[in-house]
Structure 1
Amino acid sequence: MQHFALAHTTGTHAEELVAELLRQLGDQPDATLGFIYASDALAPQLDRILQGLRTGTGIEHWVGSVGIALNVTGHEYYDSPALAVMLGDFPPEALCEVPLLRDGVETFLGSNHEWLARHPGALLGLLHGDPGNPATPLLFDHLAKRLPNLFAVGGITSSQSENLQVTGNRVVQGGVSGMLFASDIAVAVGHTQGCTPIGPRRQITSSRRNVLVELDGQPALDAFKQDIGEVLARDLNRAAGYIFAGLPVSGSDEGDYLVRNLVGIDTAQGLVAIGDYAEEGAEVMFCRRDGNTARVDLMRMLGDLQERIATPPRGAVYVSCLGRGRQQFGDESQELCLIREELGDVPLLGFFANGEIFANRLYGYTGVLTLFL
């Protein structure tokens, strides 16, 4: 297969959806792995859909998730039941299924010890996590610590119904699942932010769990007001959904940072609460969610990827945040259109997630693009 085979459609009946996808895909005898993303409205039928695709394609190994919205080459699916599938030809021995991990990673590591020993090089992990399991962030962290050669991408399942994922030949929920790709599978991965820092990096000099008490030795709220500017400082309600906290990534040579929501402000005590643990001695900066700079950074990422690849991608997976897409780039699938304009008609699919995974870390308001070369 020179390019992966991509198919996508809308509908409400499993058998009709499968038939249409199989028609679009045609005969793909070399394909060994299927990527599948389905709108959450199709969650009750996902098992029937998967079994129909397995029978129709002969492919036993699948990876994917449900999502509130999906993306494919040049198009975003909102507000309608949609289904997208991509088939790729990978050496079976270069793939390792990550079954559902609910509360630990040791059983998985033990049962796949031989495969991991045969592949000591860099591993790409396409992973999906259940937002309903409080252990999900820890599971990503534990995998990264036990597999120092792992570079994980993916996203947190988004759904208004069941948080379903697909791994191997099963539909699962309740934890982390996905697929590992050995180093002989050529890939290029990019990451784009949807927010822009608006103030300096400040040291957390006093905190209580997720509450910023003092920044640079002054009340946290005073520092916050200085950074967001006089107009917003006079009406803090206007900062909701527009201003976020950024936690710089230690050791990053690209100024990378994790975006976290502001979850509360106490004007009487001068406190600012954020959606993550605020460690004393660490740094924080405040960020603005900005559509224009998000476009600029998306173009930067795409330009960087083009410089790094020598051949056109065979297929791609793009995981974007629910806060991006039409929320930040506007209607008419503008975010996905920008990617197509720069990369061409590369077979691409993915979903809009509750959080994005890049380099083993959980981000927000970002896009993660994985190219298979």
Structure 2
Amino acid sequence: MKTKVATAIAEGTAGDVAKTLAASVKDQLGGDKPSLVFLFASTKQPLKELVPAFGDEFKGATFLGCSTAGEFTQSGDKEGAASIFAVVGDFKIFSAIGTGLRDDVEGTITKLVSELPMEVEGYPHCTAVLLVDGLSGRGEEVTLLAAMMLGESVRLAGGAAGDDLRMKETYVACNGQVQTDAVVISKIYSKVPLGVGVAHGHSPIGGPFQVTRAEGNIVYELDGKPAWEVWLDVTREKARASGMDPETLQGGDVNKFLGVYEGGLEVGEEFKVRVPIGKVPGGAMAFACGIPESTSMHIMDSDGDRQIQSAGLAARRAKDQLGGSAPAGAVVFDCRCRKDLLGNEFSKAVTTIARELGAPIAGFEAYGEVAMNMADLSGFHNTTTVVLAFPK
């Protein structure tokens, strides 16, 4: 069976958006029934209202989704909208949703994995999609536990739900259920491999430094010195050359500075990005996810051109894994931090992905990205593009 993909994006009330998206998907698919639908929605179309509004529009399809911090398709990006990705193809899909991440992340993942089949006859390739509460603080643990329990032959892709930077509550959805403090795991079995590509546009400019004192997501010391002091020492000259003086930054300018100069953890010959989200009184720094003591950390920098180029690289990496097939389309999990870095240029990154694939795309801006692939960066990421490509 040839794979077909439809994408759409719409704004308005939940009811109007559901009607618009459903009509567009049906028109593009020409009567074919999707086997899998992804829905990514702003808080302006609350997921608890939007999911039921679709009713039986895609009866028989696996229906997955989450709340977001920005939405896009190959036609461009928006805020306050909802995007949809529907795929018709020869896939066997099994999905489950579980709650209780904050209290028992291991128990939650163990239960979900046990509910899903380990293999499907005639479909030798498996890719798992993870959608996780973006404010649970469990993204790294969810990713590593899922990878361990699913096995190294299963590629992972996904993202952490957003809430338009309100930082109050995020939601994930699976087949009519909408939950917070939750995670969705969906296993997609296929005859031809799906592609997972991951890349970011940051490069190391200082380090490595050892995290000598940390608790949760707060890093107090690097190499025995206050973390903020080390960050300033490494970045001061470059930041001033670009018009930012890190010694005098206030308010939102601090976040802009930290969006350029992020942390990097070595993974083989590359780096996982760890985004700092603020300075803490006393010289400590807060990060978007936990940083264990004894971690070796670099300080990274980036610019707009590299962010756009890295989006294209993620698409190429995904395309290269399709077993010789051309892409039919892709779901893209991109970071809200990249939108903040690129501003209006973010649409260029989206266009670059679609052009590289030569196929339609849909996705959202996340609070963290998931990619686990033996050939690439692995784990839970920040300020990174993850592309999940479906073969024709």
User: Normalised by the size of structure 1, how large is the TM-score?
Assistant: 0.82
Residue 5 (str. 1) matches residue 22 (str. 2): no
- Choose from 97, 100, 107 the match for 1:99: 97
Deviations for 1:297-336, whole angstroms, at most 9, x for unmatched residues?
2233344445555332012100111122375152582221
Query: Partner residue of 1:248?
Result: 265
Distance 1:183 1:20 in 2: 27
- How far did 1:67 drift? 2.0
- Choose from 339, 359, 364 the match for 2:382: 364
1:311 aligned counterpart, secondary structure: coil
- How far did 1:177 drift? 0.7
Deviations for 1:46-83, whole angstroms, at most 9, x for unmatched residues?
133332423xxx3332222232321112421224x334
Distance 1:219 1:24 in 2: 58
Query: Partner residue of 2:236?
Result: 229
Deviations for 1:263-287, whole angstroms, at most 9, x for unmatched residues?
3255xx6544544444333211112
- How far did 1:17 drift? 2.4
CA contact (8 A) 1:60 1:169 kept: no
1:280 aligned counterpart, secondary structure: coil
Query: Partner residue of 1:335?
Result: 349
CA contact (8 A) 1:264 1:274 kept: no
Which letter does structure 2 place at the counterpart of 1:256? F
Distance 1:185 1:198 in 2: 40
- Larger mean CA deviation between 294-303 and 334-343 belongs to 294-303
Which letter does structure 1 place at the counterpart of 2:78? Y
Residue 279 (str. 1) matches residue 292 (str. 2): yes
- How far did 1:255 drift? 1.3
- How far did 1:135 drift? 4.8
Distance 2:333 2:309 in 1: 18
- Structure 1 vs Structure 2 CA RMSD: 3.2
Which letter does structure 1 place at the counterpart of 2:263? G
CA contact (8 A) 1:315 1:372 kept: yes
Which letter does structure 2 place at the counterpart of 1:318? V
Name the CA shift for 1:296/1:191 in 2 (closer, same or farther; >3 Å). Answer: same
Q: How does 1:54-133 map to 2 (within 5 A)?
A: 54=58, 58-79=59-80, 81-92=81-92, 95-103=93-101, 104-112=108-116, 115-116=117-118, 118=120, 123-133=126-136
Distance 1:335 1:314 in 2: 19
CA contact (8 A) 1:33 1:90 kept: no
CA contact (8 A) 1:102 1:135 kept: no
Q: How does 1:39-54 map to 2 (within 5 A)?
A: 39-43=42-46, 44-54=48-58
- How far did 1:366 drift? 1.1
Name the CA shift for 1:29/1:327 in 2 (closer, same or farther; >3 Å). Answer: same
User: Normalised by the size of structure 2, how large is the TM-score?
Assistant: 0.78
CA contact (8 A) 1:245 1:286 kept: yes
- How far did 1:295 drift? 1.9
Distance 1:288 1:71 in 2: 26
Query: Partner residue of 1:156?
Result: 160
Name the CA shift for 1:132/1:221 in 2 (closer, same or farther; >3 Å). Answer: closer
Name the CA shift for 1:170/1:272 in 2 (closer, same or farther; >3 Å). Answer: closer
- How far did 1:185 drift? 4.2
CA contact (8 A) 1:4 1:347 kept: no
Distance 1:287 1:348 in 2: 29
% identity of equivalent residues: 18
Distance 2:276 2:221 in 1: 18
List gaps (5 residues or longer) in structure 1: none
Query: Partner residue of 2:149?
Result: 146
Deviations for 1:73-105, whole angstroms, at most 9, x for unmatched residues?
2421224x334231221333xx22122343412
Which letter does structure 2 place at the counterpart of 1:105? I
Name the CA shift for 1:245/1:342 in 2 (closer, same or farther; >3 Å). Answer: closer
Q: How does 1:277-356 map to 2 (within 5 A)?
A: 277-309=290-322, 310-325=324-339, 327-328=341-342, 330-331=344-345, 333-344=347-358, 346-356=359-369
Instruction: Report the count of equivalent residues.
Output: 360
Distance 1:20 1:170 in 2: 22
CA contact (8 A) 2:9 2:73 kept: no
Name the CA shift for 1:330/1:305 in 2 (closer, same or farther; >3 Å). Answer: same
- How far did 1:218 drift? 4.9
CA contact (8 A) 1:50 1:169 kept: no
